[in-house]
Chains A and B, each alone.
Chain A
Amino acid sequence: MIALVRTEFVKAARRTRSLVIVALLIGLPALILFAIHRRAGRADRGGDRGEGLFRLAHQSGLLVPAAVLSVMSGFLLVVIAGTIAGDSIAGDAAWGNLRYVLIRPVSRVKLVLAKGLVAGFLIWAATVLVMVAALVGGVLFFGAHPVTVPNLSAFGGTGALSFGFTLSSSALVLRVLIATAYVAFGYSALLAMGTFFSTLTDTATGAIGATIGVYIISEILNSITELGQVRYAFPTHYLDAWEPMFTGNTYPHDMIVGVVVQLVYLVVFGAAALVWFQRKDIRS
């Protein structure tokens, strides 16, 4: 199993696409950092105040990762995670290489697990890379100060700020770590669905498109409040549940529910991928 994981990791990591993703994951936080810096300048001159994490980020570089994550977790990281997961098995099939992997005495269950583990690792690595890039850039630009967060619920239409709470540097670091882990784990459903779709088709783009498509549909449906409690079961519903750690000084209960929802998707679609792939005729 370790050998299989190692070979699958080398195959995934040595792609040109991986280098492009790394460049994006470092470059985009840098761009966002630049935007925060500019916005901070305008705010100092009494201009655009913005709101939420994006507005607060200039107070401390330790808050920049949270601001970057709030921007990137809903789309770019979804696209990257969906690409990694959807390509995991269908990519090999599209190259015609899958049949050669499977004419080795290699268990199909182990192969799916190895590919899933590698995809999961890469998704976590992508999330961590974004956070590290944002943290390093943020601290360099704005320092590592404590943050005083106003009562953001009072923003409303008046623009008047009431006193909120202060997050120490150590509290910020801890919450950044928790947010990183939560968001990375929040792609577990996407990982499992992507791997499952990847066993269904020999076309990598099809599996990737289906995976990302499910997330986009989930996001659209999640925005329709009339759907009520049904939305709680959507894989994207709790994706932003970590934000109140920074804006409300709480560890939201929704994060625990979010983890449970992701676990359910992981188990259901992971099992479906294993069962389907074991029975599948390899025709690619």
Chain B
Amino acid sequence: MSDSRDAPVVAVEGLSKHFGNVVAVDDLSFTVARGEVCGLLGPNGAGKTTSLRVLMGLERPSRGSVRLFGEPVRAGSPQLARVGAMVEQAAFVPHLSGLLNLKLWWEADGSRWGRADLDGALAVAGLGDAVHRTVRTYSQGMKQRLGFARLLLGRPELLVLDEPTNGLDPGEIREVRELIGRLTEHGSTVLLSSHHLSEVEQTCTNVVVMNYGRLISQGTVSELIGSSGSVYIEVDDRERARTVLEAIDGVRTVHLQGDGLTVDTTAGRRSDLNAALVRAGLQVETIMPTQRLEDAFLDLLDARNTPGAPIGATS
């Protein structure tokens, strides 16, 4: 199999997908580099799931192309063996045990069961003896965990996760977040679609924002949050800090707030503000954006929700 190590793990170029007159994805382009944890964000109907389905070869693009590891993706493409995916909810053959489901899924393309990372996958699933029970007796949370076990069987280089925490309780959501973190430490690339913006903020390094099937924004999480331009700072001398900050180009206003200051800035990074304060001999206790990803996300959607935008896209 040819593979360029320099090629993005995921490359979506001018992707469009129509269902009759309904435009689900419209000229979407983005890339995910090796090792990135990329969040795919958008409201319901933004085209996230459709994009991921095309990426996995489940749907055919109307226009444009999708590449995995530098190679075009089609149904049954060999590079799919390097991907672990959970598209919407995990689903299994209900009358078979969890373990037999994993085995049959793994062996479907002729892979030898002995080569699957069963121990690692079962450790993640944490289902214990329940893995020998038929899946129809599982709760949704158990199915999701078995789904994670399934996608990890092949030690995938790319994880494609579509709303992976749906149906999980808060403890399980936290486990999933930690799991994704562990996987990325081992070099896996992750493309994660989620409605939980706090989850994306805590898990992802990069974000692709979609609305009405189109790309709205792409960048690192800090860039997206930072673009809102509001920063909260705690220092040992607030008045002197105010003077220092007001002298920086691009800083529009500085307000005292609680134990610190809120800075409204049009340019520059938080590290620049921090450097200026330190140079002035101030001790910086806290410096963080006042907005969370959720605020930035909603601001982006508000800014792009122009009248006449196409309505009716499906996810």
A residues whose Cβ falls under 8 Å from a Cβ of B: 2-4, 6-7, 10-11, 14-16, 92, 95-97, 99-108, 278-279, 281-283
A105 touching B81, Cβ below 8 Å? yes
Candidates B77, B83, B108; contact of A7 at CB < 8 Å: B108
Q: Which of A11, A16, A97 contacts B91 (CB 8 A)?
A: A97
Q: In whole angstroms, what is the CA distance A60 to B60 when docked?
A: 60
* Smallest CB separation, A196 vs chain B (Å): 18
Say yes or no: is B247 at the interface (Cβ < 8 Å to chain A).
no
Binds A, one of B93-101, B199-207, B253-261, B300-308: B93-101
B→A interface (CB under 8 Å): 53, 56-60, 75-81, 83, 85, 87-96, 100, 104-105, 107-111, 150
Within the complex, what minimum Cβ distance (angstroms) separates A1 from chain B? 8
Main secondary structure of the interface of B (DSSP, over half): loop
Knowing A10-B100, A15-B95 are in contact, say whether A106-B89 is a contact too (CB < 8 A). no
Question: A97-B91, A103-B57, A282-B59 are contacts. A10–B76 as well, Cβ < 8 Å?
Answer: no
Q: B108 touching A281 by the CB < 8 A rule?
A: no
Q: Please state if B108 and A106 are interface contacts (CB–CB under 8 Å).
A: yes
Q: Which residues of A have CB within 8 Å of B80?
A: 103-105
Q: Is the CB of A104 within 8 A of B58?
A: no
- Residue of A11, A97, A99, A106 near B109 (CB, 8 A) is A106
Distance in angstroms between the alpha carbons of A4 and B105 in the assembled complex: 9
A3 CA / B103 CA spacing, docked (Å): 11
Q: Determine whether the beta carbon of A11 is less than 8 Å from that of B93.
A: yes
Q: What is the bound-complex CA distance between A2 and B109, given in angstroms?
A: 9
B60 and A96 form a contact (CB under 8 A):
no
- B217 to A: closest C-beta gap in Å: 28
A101 interface neighbour in B83, B95, B105, B111, Cβ under 8 Å: B105
Shortest beta-carbon distance from B15 to chain A in Å = 14
- Whether the Cβ atoms of B59 and A281 lie closer than 8 Å is yes
Measured CA separation A137–B53 after assembly (Å): 54
Nearest 5 CB-CB pairings of A with B: A96-B91, A281-B59, A282-B58, A7-B104, A3-B110
**Cβ-defined partner of A105 (8 Å) among B78, B104, B150:** B78
- Known contacts A104-B81, A105-B76; is A99 also within 8 Å of B105 by CB? no
Q: Which chain B residue lies CB-closest to A109? A: B76
